[in-house]
Amino acid sequence: MNTESEFVAHEPCNNCGSSDANSRYSDGHAYCFACHTYSPGEDWTHTHTQMNTNERVQFLGSAEQLQKRRISEATNSFYRIYRHGNTLRFPYYNASGQVVGFKIKTKSKDFHYEGASSDQLFGQHLFPTSGKRIVITEGELDAASCYEVMSGWPMVSLPHGAAAAKKDLQKAIPFLQGYQEIVLFFDNDEAGREAVESASSILPAGRVKIARLDAYKDASDALQAEDREAIRRAIWDAKPYRPDGIVDGKNLMALVTEPTKTCDHEYPFEGLNDKLHGIRYGELTTLTAGSGSGKTSLVRAIAADLAMKGETVGILELEANNKRTALGLMSAAVGKPYHIGEHDKEELESAFADTLAKWNVFLFDGFGSFDPDVIYNRIEYLASGLECRIIFLDHLSILLSGLDGDERRMIDSTMTKLRSLVERTGIALFLVSHLRRTNSDSNSHEEGGRVSLGQLRGSHSIAQLSDSVIALERDQQGEANANLTTLRVLKNRFSGEVGVATTLSYDLSTCQFYETKSEDTVEFNPATDF
């Protein structure tokens, strides 16, 4: 519905047959407040002519007690709700306090309008422009019902029901600004709840409260049941409106007292467990290093270890075909380099039977296909469709290689989406990321240079959105220690422990890592590690 145009006239609705609930606006569109039908009105032309207020509207009938509704003559007289034949007439006023129109409701609950539309809430003209509390209901009789129970307090209603709550309250903001508390007392149904969410977003922050009736649809129903206390309690106990994402700490007892697992799985290396306290679902761990430092081999070692423990694992190696990935996993588990050279078919079949055939491991068969949206979809499917609790993505840079645009922005967007996937699915995601090159050839990552968070390639979002960051440091050309890899924890959201975790020796003949005791005990240095 267009929110910029102005009301022009009430018309019959061709959809529901209402005689006057279809409202026409100055840009030609129409909206029926009875059946909620929107009409663009491209062929409509503005032929409506304004009439003198006195010619258009007049008070008819009289204020009477509404026995069924339990609303007294005094309350109806206060609001000037008049019974006229088989109808109730609700007056609407302009800013000058002059009546400009009536909403007319029949016994069958049909309604139509007489006169002009008003920008004011029903009953607004009766109350001061400031005060402690004002209650806003969906309908006029709900407002009157509340006033019947709590006379003297400002009780007003929406002029066009829940469907137009946001638009109507937008116009009323200058009036509502003067109140310390704005209580929305809408119907206890889906339309009412949706109206609360849409309207609350445009009202003064921190002043909105929500009144609820658990046993009744609205205040009118509660009063008809003679449950005045329910209305009072709903208003006095109205809860402050909090948008999604805001939680009252007082409500967290069950959450904080629930036993917390230190970890869901252990790493295959004691040093990593000492620093990171294991692997946890719902966390994003980034592995980073220079080119050729053994990131993929370490991923396969961890994945194979988890698979052997019975975990369901998903693996997306974007730079390797599935044959090489599968052979690499078999090699890490069996201790023989099946991905290098030729091997007897029977031996391979035996190794396969002892590994992949027994494991719950799923691979991404998409070598050369790096559409990020496809990758997100496949991760989601691995998590939700195949119940993979731990997923490995190797690696971030190749995921972005087919995209055009600023690298930093692309990494920010990708990390945000990956983080969202982790939060939504509860998986543990291991992400491989490259480092940017250093300015010093003598301290390059390929020559064992120390890694810091600031060297992550492209964006700080990698570090910010990761729960843990593990760096691999290896001097690939070193004569004495070319096969030694230092694992340095750069970030640890769980416990804060950072620094060197362990040193691994990689045996080319077995394709396995062996943990050694390192003399390097240098811990986190804030001067260099950011």
What interhelical angle do 140-149 and 228-236 show, nearest 10? 90
Q: How many Å apart are CA 355 and CA 211, to the nearest integer? A: 60
Closest to 122 measured CA to CA, from 150, 146, 141, 148: 141
The structural domains of the chain, with segments of one domain joined by +, span 63-83+116-240, 283-516
Residues constituting the chain: 530
> Distance between CA atoms of 502 and 295, rounded to whole angstroms?
15
Query: Average pLDDT for residues 4-15, to the nearest whole number?
Result: 63
Is the pLDDT reported for residue 1 higher than 50?
Answer: no
Separation between Cα atoms, residue 99 and residue 74, nearest integer Å: 20
pLDDT of residue 116: 84
CA pair distance 208, 201, nearest whole angstrom: 9
The answer to whether 523 touches 500, Cβ cutoff 8 Å, is yes
What's the mean pLDDT in 222-227?
96
Residue type, 58: Q
Pairing state between β 82-84 and 99-106: unpaired
For the segment 24-54, what is each residue's pLDDT rounded down to a tens digit? 766 667 777 766 676 766 544 443 333 334 4
Residue 473: HSE in the Cβ half-sphere, 13 Å Cα cutoff: 20
Choose between 447 and 120: higher pLDDT: 120
pLDDT at 307: 96
**Residue 16 confidence (pLDDT) above 70:** no
Question: Residue 492: beta bridge partners?
Answer: 468
Rounded average pLDDT over 316-339: 90
pLDDT at 399: 78
Exposure of 247 in the CB half-sphere (CA atoms within 13 A): 7
Mean pLDDT on 55-63 = 79
3-state secondary structure at position 333: helix
- Give pLDDT, residue 447: 65
Q: How confident is the model at residue 519 (pLDDT cuts 50, 70, 90)?
A: very low
Check residue 49 and give its pLDDT. Answer: 34
> Is pLDDT of 228 > 80?
yes
Read off the amino acid at residue 366: G
Per-residue pLDDT at 509: 86
pLDDT in tens, 189-218: 999 999 998 898 899 888 999 999 999 999
- pLDDT exceeds cutoff 60 at 4: no
Predicted TM-score (pTM) above 0.75: no
**Full strand arrangement of the beta sheet holding 428-434:** 360-363, 312-317, 390-394, 428-434, 284-289, 468-473, 484-492, 499-507, 512-516
pLDDT class of 398 with cuts at 50, 70, 90? confident
d(CA 176, CA 156): 11
pLDDT digits (tens, 9 = 90+) for 125-170: 999 999 999 999 999 999 999 999 999 999 999 999 898 999 999 9
Average pLDDT over all residues of the chain:
85
How confident is residue 299, by pLDDT bands cut at 50, 70 and 90? very high
Contact (Cβ atoms closer than 8 angstroms) between residue 220 and residue 69: yes
Q: Please tell me the distance from the alpha carbon of residue 61 to that of residue 42, in angstroms, as a whole number.
A: 40
In percent, how much of the chain has pLDDT > 90?
Answer: 56
Among 498, 437, 439, CA closest to 466: 498
Please determine, looking at this structure, whether the domain spanning 283-516 carries the CATH number 3.20.80.10: no
Q: Which of 375, 379, 377 is nearest to 398 (CA)?
A: 375
**In terms of Cα–Cα distance, which of 265, 275, 324, 268 is closest to 513?**
268
- The sheet that has 7-11: what strands, in order across it? 7-11, 22-25, 30-32, 38-39
434 has a pLDDT exceeding 80: yes
Does 22 have pLDDT greater than 80?
no
| CA–CA distance, 431 with 411 (Å, rounded to integer) | 13
May I ask the CATH class of domain 63-83+116-240?
alpha beta
Strand-pairing partners, residue 149, are none
342-368: per-residue pLDDT in tens? 889 999 999 999 999 999 999 998 765
Q: Write down the pLDDT at residue 108.
A: 80
